[in-house]
Amino acid sequence: MSGRRNDRPTLEEVAALAGVGRGTVSRVVNGSPRVSDQARRAVARAVAELGYVPHQAARALAGSRTDAVALVIPEAEARLFAEPYFLDLIRGVSAELASAEKQLLLTLVRTEAERRRLEHCVAARRVDGVLLASVHGDDPLPDRIAELGLPVVMNGRRSEAEPVDHVDCDNIGAGRAAVAHLVGRGRHRIATIGGPLDMYVARARLGGYRAGLAEAGIGPDESLVAIGDFTEEGGRRAMRGLLERAPDLDAVFAASDVMAAGARGVLREAGRKVPGDVALVGVDDSVVARLMDPPLTSVRQPIEEMGRTMARLLLDKITEGSRGAGARRVLPTELVVRASS
């Protein structure tokens, strides 16, 4: 080669040059017999040409790999299976891990005893890495897993200054886009139903809502702000409170489709027509949005792609032996307009 590389070649570059998947390169590098001779030769040529050197720690751990990754969700089973968000996330994670021949272990952490069992599992290296979803702001679990020396990637983040690797969406942009759309529809008394404020995602969407109002020249009115919990019943409770405090509201931005569905039920009970009396916008663009009556305008998150991206980042950390933080991805959102607004 005519010049020296300033950066160490990556597994992705080896895979691209060899014309194989990342998982195949990983298996060749780690000496797995589950690779064809043709693929092994292609990877060997790419490794030689690029000067690829696997991280020593990864090579040292190769013999003790479990080929399993834990997806940890600190939520109750009822919420896990009631919300399309989690199902789409699991679908994306599962698809990416399957292509790398890694087993997915879905783990719910609802009690302190379950948390201790998870930490014991991590300390004992029963999984190669951990993916975390729906983490609240004061949860020390991501830091604890990182301290135990296992690769970890989060879905979302606990704060703007999140130190742990994560994949998030533009939640501030989601709130701003929803408000701009409602203002464009001629709405001026725009309320919001936010998520629990100990979660960054909820604070970011609320911040986007407030920024959107400011950009439209509409002053803040805290009577138009209600806090839910990302559940349908939470959306119902919040909507009842909003109607009591601000019966003249003409639009609602709900921070999730599921809460929007709860709000829609209360509006119907109160005799308010959607969108004639009250325009309604959610977030996620889930199956809930498409099946509502009328179909719900919603800010689309690429949830399945978030799952895939999380899994790819974690697989790279496992293969490269990286334990430090530094990988952060923020994926764009998109407003999908339907009949509710």
**DSSP 3-state of 252:** strand
pLDDT at 256: 96
* Residues of the chain where predicted confidence (pLDDT) is lower than 50: 1-6, 56-63, 323-324
In order of their start, the domains of the chain are 11-54 (1.10.260.40), 66-169+304-333 (3.40.50.2300), 171-300 (3.40.50.2300)
Element containing residue 330 per DSSP (H, E): strand 328-331
pLDDT at 218: 96
Q: Which is nearest to 190 in space by CA: 234, 170, 228, 220?
A: 220
Q: Which residues of 220-230 are buried (b: 16+ CB within 10 A; e: fewer)?
A: eeeebbbbbbb
Distance CA 281, CA 188 (A): 14
Distance CA 232, CA 83 (A): 9
Residue-wise pLDDT tens digits, 111-150: 888 888 888 888 778 889 999 998 888 888 888 888 888 8
pLDDT at 25: 80
